[in-house]
Amino acid sequence: ADYQPFLMTIRVVSPDGKPLRGAVLDWWQADGDGKYYFSEYTLRGRVSTDDDGVAEVLTVAPGEYHALGGMRTGHFHVHIYAPRSTKGEVTYEGMTTQVYVKERNDKTILDKDP
């Protein structure tokens, strides 16, 4: 397998664009061969955002894999837990999303993703 280092940087902001400090990103991904490690925490973790709403993780680029009758493009699964509110602060709901990874951000690869 070709395990390329990959720096994942995500910035979490409120709907009005304000950086959200203390949001927790729970991410999981396949390895460079497209293999998941469901029974252990390999290539899974949690990290919190800094004062600028930024979190970074040094990992490997996730590989493609066969699923759902097609080829899934390499991607990160990310659940974002909103920061805990303090008295008087606005609260936000969390969200779950996928971040796709492809050389030069080639969007055409998503055409075959089921």
Is 70 exceeded by the pLDDT of residue 5? yes
d(CA 32, CA 41): 16
Q: What is the pLDDT of residue 57?
A: 92
Q: What angle do CA 7, 77, 93 make, to 5 degrees?
A: 110
Q: What is the pLDDT of residue 101?
A: 78
Tokens describing residue 114: 């089921």
Is 70 exceeded by the pLDDT of residue 58? yes
Distances (CA, A) of 59 to 28, 30, 65, 68: 11, 11, 18, 26
Is 90 exceeded by the pLDDT of residue 23? yes
What confidence category does residue 1 fall into, taking pLDDT thresholds of 50, 70 and 90?
low
Q: For residue range 24-42, what is the model confidence (pLDDT) as tens digits?
A: 999 999 998 999 988 788 8
Residue 74 dihedral angles phi and psi, to the nearest 5°: -55, 135
Is 80 exceeded by the pLDDT of residue 104? no
Cβ 60 vs Cβ 3: under 8 Å:
yes
